[in-house]
Amino acid sequence: MSAILETKNLSMNFGGLTALDRLDIGVLPGEITALIGPNGAGKTTLFNCITGIYSPTAGNIFITPPGGRRREITGLNINKVTEGGVARTFQNIRLFPDMTVLENVMVGRHCRASAGILGAILRDGATMTEEKSIVATSYEILQRMGLAEHVNLLARNLPYGLQRRLEIARAMATDPFLLLLDEPAAGMNPQETKDLESLIIRIRDEWKISVFLIEHDMRLVMGLSDSVYVIDYGELIAKGTPQEIRRNPEVIKAYLGEDVSA
Q: Which residue, 1 or 121, has its beta carbon nearer to other proteins? A: 121
Say if strands 210-214 and 32-36 run parallel, antiparallel, or are unpaired: parallel
Report how far residue 101's alpha carbon sits from residue 170's, in angstroms, rounded to the nearest whole number: 9
Report how far residue 183's alpha carbon sits from residue 187's, in angstroms, rounded to the nearest whole number: 9
- State in angstroms the smallest separation of the CB of 86 from other proteins: 10
Contact yes or no for 69/24 (Cβ under 8 A): no
Cβ neighbours for 78, distance < 8 A, ≥ 6 positions apart: 51, 52, 53
Please name which of 154, 114, 148, 155 lies closest in space to residue 133, comparing C-alpha atoms. 114
- State in angstroms the smallest separation of the CB of 249 from other proteins: 38
- State in angstroms the smallest separation of the CB of 97 from other proteins: 6
Report how far residue 58's alpha carbon sits from residue 54's, in angstroms, rounded to the nearest whole number: 12
Under the rule (CB under 8 A), what is the footprint of other proteins?
51, 53, 77-79, 82-83, 87-88, 90, 94-100, 102-103, 106-108, 110-113, 115-117, 119-121, 123, 127, 130-132, 134-136, 139-140, 148, 151-152, 154, 156-157, 170-171, 173-174
Alpha helices by DSSP H, listed for the chain, are: 43-50, 78-83, 101-108, 117-122, 125-144, 160-172, 190-205, 218-224, 242-247, 249-256
